[in-house]
């Protein structure tokens, strides 16, 4: 075994690597240290249950506190200590994207997926809940329409970008087609183009870094063919970064359309080479899909009365479950885990007693998911084939993670109840929280 170079050891994110060692990639794939160096440098730390109608009379508005990542003052701490919000911290969920970037990507996906007039009002709700201003939303919708026109023209002429998959509007293909199609002339200001391009390029880079880290499958030679030397993941990532640097023009005076188009074509070719070796294909990595699911589901809560649902909660959920989730690759189990999690998180933020009951009901459903996953695992060990409705291993791990985080957060405060009672919402919610702990334990 070769000894890693000193610079690599100095640059590795030790916490991220340790979490990865506790939950290694599926299939026993080797862990490439250089990927944890690059990923760690950017990491920010950041079916189907239907909520009852909320009582929040105010319509959707800009969310003020749902994106808070810092700390919350605990009213029950005598020493004035600060309470950290609970956070899911599986290594696969270290996406390298900040929450604003994830929200921008989430809105882009919904806008591209729900393009008909019937979804117009709900799209405005999504915009508001994700903190996207009206100008930014109009820009996204205009660019998506521009891309649709370009796709129709190239497919009619049988040239240009490669044929797109059926899920293109909720996958990495959407980002690449936008980068290849949109030019500075499509924006009012060159700086706006640069900011937009930077967000998408970072999404491409971090998505592929995570995909390589979690689901790299080196190409295998076909039967009867000699094994040709294939580029390694590190070589392909180096080419990817080279293409991204070519696209990174910061000044209008330095921009040349022909050079930029060639750079984006090179980016597409390199991305395709990488995607062929990823178990996820064009889909966003599992961890990013969880984050996208989480930020979109938070939108069911009213931003002004954070313990209540928005009036459109039922329609909002139906749109996500029937139109967005199938293309994005969000399974019913992933939905249930994230839905239970955002209810518990919202309780921590608001201390609304009603959310304890909702969390308890959702964790009960999550316990059923975990039970099904355990039975499927036992069946596989006994030689029984996997059924189509079996819970995927990573989704089962997410259900366990939600249960573990709930137990850790509540358990620490119950153990020090007299000092931290108000952080739990007071005595009136204690019995409900004990039930929450019991169902969380069953979901592990």
CB-based burial label for 146 (10 Å; 0-12, 13-18, 19+): middle
Domain range list for the chain? 89-219+230-330, 332-444
Instruction: Report whether pLDDT(366) > 90.
Output: no
Distances (CA, A) of 358 to 47, 57, 59, 267, 430: 15, 20, 22, 46, 15
Distance of alpha carbon 288 from alpha carbon 283, whole angstroms:
10
**Res. 423 pLDDT band, cuts 50 70 90:** low
Which pLDDT value is given to residue 389? 61
Q: pTM, whole model, 2 decimals?
A: 0.78
Using alpha carbons, select from 70, 81, 5, 72 the residue that is nearest to residue 37. Answer: 5
Burial annotation 273-312 (CB, 10 A radius, 16+ → b, else e): bbbebbbbebbbbbbbbbbbbbbbbbbbbbbbbbbbbbbb
CA atoms within 13 A on the CB side of 249: 19
**Res. 351 pLDDT band, cuts 50 70 90:** confident
Q: What is the pLDDT of residues 23-62, one digit of tens each?
A: 555 555 566 665 666 443 433 333 333 444 333 333 333 3
End-to-end CA distance of the chain: 36
Which pLDDT value is given to residue 42? 38
Instruction: Report whether pLDDT(236) > 90.
Output: yes
């Amino acid at each position: 075994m070769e000894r890693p170079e000193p610079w690599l050891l100095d640059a590795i994110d030790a916490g991220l690597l340790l979490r990865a060692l506790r939950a290694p990639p599926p299939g026993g794939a080797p862990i490439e240290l250089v990927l944890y160096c690059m990923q760690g440098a950017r990491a920010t730390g950041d079916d189907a249950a239907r909520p009852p109608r909320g009582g929040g009379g105010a319509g959707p508005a800009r969310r003020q506190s749902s994106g808070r990542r810092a700390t919350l003052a605990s009213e029950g701490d005598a020493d004035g200590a600060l309470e950290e919000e609970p956070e899911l911290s599986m290594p696969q969920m270290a996406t390298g994207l900040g929450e604003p970037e994830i929200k921008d990507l989430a809105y882009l996906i919904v806008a591209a997926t729900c393009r008909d007039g019937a979804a117009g009002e709900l799209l405005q709700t999504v915009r508001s809940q994700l903190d996207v201003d009206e100008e930014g939303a109009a820009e996204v919708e205009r660019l998506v329409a521009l891309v649709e026109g370009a796709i129709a023209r190239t497919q009619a002429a049988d040239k240009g970008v490669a044929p797109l998959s059926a899920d293109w509007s909720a996958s990495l293909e959407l980002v690449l087609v936008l980068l290849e199609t949109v030019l500075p002339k499509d924006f009012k200001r060159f700086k706006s183009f640069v900011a937009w391009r930077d967000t998408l390029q970072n999404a491409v880079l971090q998505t592929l870094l995570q995909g390589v880290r979690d689901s790299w499958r080196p190409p295998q030679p076909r039967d009867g063919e000699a094994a040709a030397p294939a580029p390694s993941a590190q070589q392909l990532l180096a080419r990817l970064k080279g293409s991204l640097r070519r696209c990174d023009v910061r000044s209008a005076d330095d921009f040349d359309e022909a050079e930029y188009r060639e750079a984006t074509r090179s980016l597409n070719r390199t991305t395709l080479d990488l995607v062929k070796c990823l178990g996820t294909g064009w889909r966003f990595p599992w961890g990013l899909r969880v984050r996208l699911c989480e930020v979109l589901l938070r939108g069911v809560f009213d931003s002004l009365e954070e313990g209540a649902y928005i009036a459109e909660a039922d329609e909002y959920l139906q749109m996500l479950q029937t139109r967005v989730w199938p293309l994005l690759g969000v399974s019913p189990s992933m939905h249930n885990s994230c839905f239970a999690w955002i209810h518990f998180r919202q309780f921590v933020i608001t201390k609304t007693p009603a959310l304890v009951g909702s969390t308890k009901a959702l964790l009960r459903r999550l316990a059923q998911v975990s039970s099904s996953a355990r039975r499927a695992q036992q069946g596989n060990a006994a030689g029984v084939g996997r059924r189509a409705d079996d819970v995927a291993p990573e989704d089962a791990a997410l259900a366990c993670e939600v249960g573990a985080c709930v137990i850790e957060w509540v358990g620490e405060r119950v153990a020090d109840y007299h000092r931290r009672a108000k952080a739990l919402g007071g005595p009136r919610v204690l019995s409900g929280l004990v039930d929450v702990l019991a169902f969380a334990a069953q979901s592990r």
